[in-house]
Amino acid sequence: MIRGAVIHLLEAQPLLADLPALPAAADTLLVCTNLRDLSGKRPTFIDSSDSTFVIPWPTIRFVEIPAGAAEETARLAAAEAEAAEPLELDEDFLRRIREA
């Protein structure tokens, strides 16, 4: 999760948002959550700030990713992948547990 990305829209004020991942070059839409203005308040055109928002790329000038956010996202993804790997059980350890 990339927190605090700044989405610069065409002919509108920038918005802060949380992105589930870095946008890919082939993406046609930007999916984000926790959309708010730069002061942290919910914009008037949004009913619920905890919704998921889908913004088409043609309406976006650029997306500003905070320094270190991409590295943090990659580190968290690697940690999740490592945690998902099955553990190898030591047969000697299992034998001692059964005997106890």
Q: What is the CATH number of the domain that holds 56?
A: 2.30.30
pLDDT band at residue 87 using 50, 70 and 90 as cut-offs: low
Q: How many domains does one find in the chain?
A: 1
Q: Are 60 and 7 in contact (CB under 8 A)?
A: yes
Give the number of other Cβ atoms within 10 Å of residue 7's Cβ. 21
Q: What amino acid occupies position 33?
A: T
Of residues 85 and 94, more confidence is placed in: 94
The answer to whether residue 50 scores a pLDDT higher than 80 is: no
pTM score: 0.68
Distance CA 65, CA 20 (A): 12
Residues 6 or more apart in contact with residue 29 via CB below 8 angstroms? 54, 55, 56, 57
Distance CA 87, CA 68 (A): 31
Of residues 74 and 17, more confidence is placed in: 17
pLDDT band at residue 84 using 50, 70 and 90 as cut-offs: low
